Amino acid sequence: MEITGKIVQLLPLQTGQGKNGVWKKQDFVIETEGQYPKRVCISAWGDRISESLLVAGRDVTVSFDLESREFNGRWYTDVRAWKVEEASAETPYYAAPAQSAPIASKPAAPEFLVSAEEGQDDLPF
């Protein structure tokens, strides 16, 4: 999945020691443009953290995966970035569907309306 928006907040960098070594996690919030802007908190882990790109006010395109897990009867969802790029001018501020249906210029009128309009002179009065 992909989303484009402006970074509005960087949360504090988190680090720790695990069985596989040192880990680090950077959470950031982006806001999409449009009539109804949305804010999304996204996590970047390890080498996915780019201090040069993760700057408040910068427009970015984030490729991410959604993951949910259950713990003690409650569900938790993560939005994990796997690629962060600077947004280009052509990139829309929403995730467009992979395939979109062609848009018809004018929908066809139902058959009963067409025959009623054409036959106006055939009325008995």
Query: What's residue 91's pLDDT?
Result: 45
Split into its structural domains, the chain has a count of: 1
- What band does 117 get if pLDDT is binned at 50, 70 and 90? low
Q: Is 16 within the bounds of a domain?
A: yes
Distance (Å, whole) CA 68 – CA 39: 19
Q: Which domain holds residue 65?
A: 2-94
Q: What is the pLDDT of residues 4-20, one digit of tens each?
A: 999 999 999 999 998 88
Q: Are 84 and 50 in contact (CB under 8 A)?
A: yes
Per-residue pLDDT reduced to its tens digit, 56-84: 999 999 999 999 999 999 999 999 999 99
- Tell me if 9 is assigned to some domain: yes
User: What does 24-67 look like in DSSP terms, one character per residue?
Assistant: EEEEEEEE--SSS--EEEEEEEGGG--TTT--TT-EEEEEEEEE
Chain-centroid distance of CA 39 in Å reads 10
Q: Is residue 48 part of a domain?
A: yes
Residue 20: inside a domain, yes or no?
yes
What pLDDT is attached to residue 47? 78
% of the chain beyond a pLDDT of 70: 70
In a domain, 80, yes or no: yes
